[in-house]
Structure 1
């Protein structure tokens, strides 16, 4: 049974055997002689990290077109690095991990879905969607390579956290001084019709919530990962500010994602420290924490009217206007899936915008399916959904495998299991849980400023794979001690 699970999750896949016989792998590095003569390419990985820092630094403030150009720059730079790699210098070449394979399948299904799209105009539009998806996946490939370095990983995450602090700080300013609603985000007939939903630089409360979920995950683990009282204090300020701002978005999907992320965070931190906990806390810490969270939720529902109304509206069915809108959109999307079950209508939001009007119910115009599961299924059919679920399975399994390995190595080299690498991995896995929870009822992470954060989380998980493949346990422990 264990062997079957390892095969499904690619945990025992012999990638090094594939490297010795793959023609694709042999292509990588054929320009390595040029790289040896280039001064700038001696700093290839730091330059790549700088490009990533620029991307995450400007994403909340600039247009989608500019983010697209930055994604194209990241893709081009990954190609350059791959073609100039020299294994004799320790370069990773393609740097494949088990996570790369379901991602390649996902892209392949998207391409086939575009090829079978009905009509020439729809086919061309679908291939534009494939091109956009390719940019995100090449960004993942670049990050999975660059973020192998603990120092560069810490820099990229640090830049994102500082930018998120600015974004959430401006959101809190909107709460205190007021902000004009740019759309009808609250039911005019509800008691909250005059309340402020903050949106900061993202222009939409749901987008802001999707942007801040990863920030909360990373800022919490930064409390333990950053050394020194000043950095730890900054991490606490980031955690409080980001969490408060997310709550003030009044995004119910964001709250769902936050709740799931907090649960995952507690479970993983408890697992990390469990060898050092007394027997009582080893078995009682999680129940006490969850009871405390449940108590806080009950107190919030009882004593905070805004919170109570937003929570109860989740269960109001079509009695809430936002719920009614989503239910009608989902019903139309299910009809689309019924007509295109295998490979969908074709990837991309533009394809959805062209096909959805043929199925929409009166007065329920939509730009997306408002559920990541439905969106993938309607765009790429059940085959695409299978590829995505396989990607999730492999990613979370790799996260668990690498966390267990890091815990063993860290506890052998650090007396309190204080290695920073493990905390960043915990942050990456929990942000994926939170974004998935939010994505079940919304599709905000199809926006570039949110989508790049999803792939950042996946890339961080993938970036730990090479340590296990290239280093012995003793070398791994020395590597961890050197970089922490």
Structure 2
């Protein structure tokens, strides 16, 4: 077995985690009660309903109300786990999510602001339990499509309201507009989320799911609705004038294009296959260049990325990053503990004058300052295995021509887009965006299937399924 195969769990077999494990005994302790419960007959559907409520309401309700929804999901996951758990559903992604949580829990215990870090750890735990329930519920293709349909329809409402703001005007807040980097006639939309950068972070993955719905939904009317949702979300995202959002949008489109070309390539005539990738990707680059060069608001905003400290937003971020790097240097291995509450207590000790900040304004730096280099390593390992898992499962579904693969491709493209945006912002830590991040990872985990075991004979695997 090569190092790469080991790192990516290429030959991981869930049978390695036997029924004698401590986790199995703990989480299955109420299995007898479940057998007599009429409610838990619909356990997966109820889980899907809770997820649909959270994702259908996330853009419209305050964070406190969304927190109650996350708490309900956590409680329901705990109930399901205590009554029935099958460790064969624990994918490599699950174990790396647990590793990431464990590093942050250790960072919390050793944090200089332990009480504040505990608050952050509690929030992180809620997000990770959203992942756990999503990974379980989305194994059902019908529930998967229903939940993603809720996400697509919700994003359509959000986008339409954002476009309405652009058409009829919207109140401008000075903290979002730097006249050195935004044209005078530019208005940044923010829809129901109250912040254009947060709106962009929300729309990057939901646009990917809207595009996936074109391939999954059956019938011309549903497909037209999916096309409308994709167009509205894309245009609304552009009108946020969020530079990080645009970078994420480009990353999402690039990954979507690669996966989409890979999916359709075997169905094309042989001469087309050779030129498909360069023609499509070259066309995307050409469209991007024409848009930037031909539209002044886009050109002004894009060029502001490259002016360094002359742009006030750039200057602010650079000063915050320098302070955060000092924080990481002082606590390199396990950081200060998770959460913005801990960050807000420690950052003032390092900040430069007049550059107060609520976060590191970069996801990799935020992960490193919270969990140290160990946390950053666990995070990077999780992303690596998630991406490799997605590609492997897309290949499997392509052989079967299973249209559910479009949701899988959208999940990976959404992750790439949110990470691209997150290089220069930390809106990913807002619940409206963070829940989508963990939904994408949970969706990819739900598609995972083990490779045929080379260690256990067929009768051993069959007998294990009966236990």
State TM-score, norm by structure 1: 0.91
Counterpart CA distance in 2 for 1:256 and 1:190 is 16
> How many angstroms does 1:274 deviate by?
1.5
**What count of residue pairs does the alignment treat as equivalent?**
453
Residues 221-242 of structure 1, C-alpha deviations (whole Å, 9 max, x = no match): 1111111101110010001000
Residues 324-345 of structure 1, C-alpha deviations (whole Å, 9 max, x = no match): 1111111111111111111111
Counterpart CA distance in 1 for 2:95 and 2:202 is 27
Residues 151-185 of structure 1, C-alpha deviations (whole Å, 9 max, x = no match): 00001100011111000100000000111124421
After superposition, the CA RMSD in angstroms is 1.5
Instruction: Name the structure 2 match of 1:20.
Output: 19
SS in 2 for 1:181: coil
Instruction: Name the structure 1 match of 2:127.
Output: 136
Of 106, 110, 124 in structure 2, the residue corresponding to residue 116 of structure 1 is 110
Counterpart CA distance in 2 for 1:81 and 1:43 is 11
Q: Could you tell me whether the CA contact under 8 Å between 1:207 and 1:450 is conserved in 2?
A: yes
Instruction: Name the structure 2 match of 1:258.
Output: 249
Instruction: Name the structure 2 match of 1:42.
Output: 41
Q: Could you tell me whether the CA contact under 8 Å between 2:14 and 2:88 is conserved in 1?
A: no
Counterpart CA distance in 1 for 2:30 and 2:435 is 29
> How do 1:250-289 residues align onto structure 2 when only pairs under 5 Å count?
250-289=241-280
Of 64, 87, 96 in structure 1, the residue corresponding to residue 90 of structure 2 is 96
> How do 1:375-386 residues align onto structure 2 when only pairs under 5 Å count?
375-386=366-377
> How many angstroms does 1:468 deviate by?
6.0
Instruction: Name the structure 2 match of 1:446.
Output: 429
Residues 28-52 of structure 1, C-alpha deviations (whole Å, 9 max, x = no match): 3222222222221111110110000
State TM-score, norm by structure 2: 0.94
Distance 1:211 1:200, change over 3 A: same
> How do 1:258-337 residues align onto structure 2 when only pairs under 5 Å count?
258-337=249-328
Counterpart CA distance in 1 for 2:424 and 2:269 is 40
Instruction: Name the structure 2 match of 1:168.
Output: 159
Counterpart CA distance in 2 for 1:131 and 1:47 is 24
Of 143, 148, 158 in structure 2, the residue corresponding to residue 157 of structure 1 is 148
Q: Could you tell me whether the CA contact under 8 Å between 1:217 and 1:430 is conserved in 2?
A: yes
Distance 1:14 1:94, change over 3 A: closer
Counterpart CA distance in 1 for 2:164 and 2:451 is 46
**Which range is displaced more, 452-461 or 39-48?**
39-48
Counterpart CA distance in 1 for 2:217 and 2:337 is 44
Structure 2: 5+ residue runs without aligned partners?
A: 454-467
Instruction: Name the structure 1 match of 2:235.
Output: 244
Counterpart CA distance in 2 for 1:378 and 1:43 is 42
> How many angstroms does 1:404 deviate by?
1.3
Counterpart CA distance in 1 for 2:34 and 2:339 is 37
Structure 1: 5+ residue runs without aligned partners?
A: 86-90, 411-416, 471-484
Instruction: Name the structure 1 match of 2:54.
Output: 55
Counterpart CA distance in 2 for 1:248 and 1:280 is 39
Residue 29 (1) aligns with residue 28 (2): yes
Instruction: Name the structure 2 match of 1:342.
Output: 333
Counterpart CA distance in 2 for 1:94 and 1:128 is 32
SS in 1 for 2:250: helix
SS in 2 for 1:72: helix
Distance 1:43 1:392, change over 3 A: same
SS in 1 for 2:51: helix
Q: Could you tell me whether the CA contact under 8 Å between 1:337 and 1:378 is conserved in 2?
A: yes
Counterpart CA distance in 1 for 2:342 and 2:253 is 35
Instruction: Name the structure 2 match of 1:64.
Output: 63
Q: Could you tell me whether the CA contact under 8 Å between 2:237 and 2:245 is conserved in 1?
A: yes
> How many angstroms does 1:361 deviate by?
1.1
Instruction: Name the structure 1 match of 2:458.
Output: none
Q: Could you tell me whether the CA contact under 8 Å between 2:134 and 2:439 is conserved in 1?
A: yes
Distance 1:188 1:338, change over 3 A: same
Of 457, 460, 472 in structure 1, the residue corresponding to residue 440 of structure 2 is 457
> How many angstroms does 1:188 deviate by?
3.4
SS in 1 for 2:18: helix
Residues 89-127 of structure 1, C-alpha deviations (whole Å, 9 max, x = no match): xx7467211001111111111111111112xxx111111
Distance 1:230 1:341, change over 3 A: same
Counterpart CA distance in 2 for 1:37 and 1:301 is 62
Counterpart CA distance in 1 for 2:238 and 2:155 is 15
Residues 200-222 of structure 1, C-alpha deviations (whole Å, 9 max, x = no match): 01110000000001111111111
Residues 368-424 of structure 1, C-alpha deviations (whole Å, 9 max, x = no match): 00000000001111010000000001111111111111112x1xxxxxx3x221111
Instruction: Name the structure 1 match of 2:456.
Output: none
Residue 396 (1) aligns with residue 387 (2): yes
Of 148, 160, 181 in structure 1, the residue corresponding to residue 139 of structure 2 is 148
Residues 237-283 of structure 1, C-alpha deviations (whole Å, 9 max, x = no match): 00100000000000010110111111111110111122111222212
Counterpart CA distance in 2 for 1:380 and 1:30 is 33
Runs (4+) of structure 1 exceeding 4 A deviation are 466-470
Counterpart CA distance in 2 for 1:68 and 1:366 is 23
Q: Could you tell me whether the CA contact under 8 Å between 2:12 and 2:450 is conserved in 1?
A: no
**Which range is displaced more, 25-34 or 453-462?**
25-34
Distance 1:107 1:381, change over 3 A: same
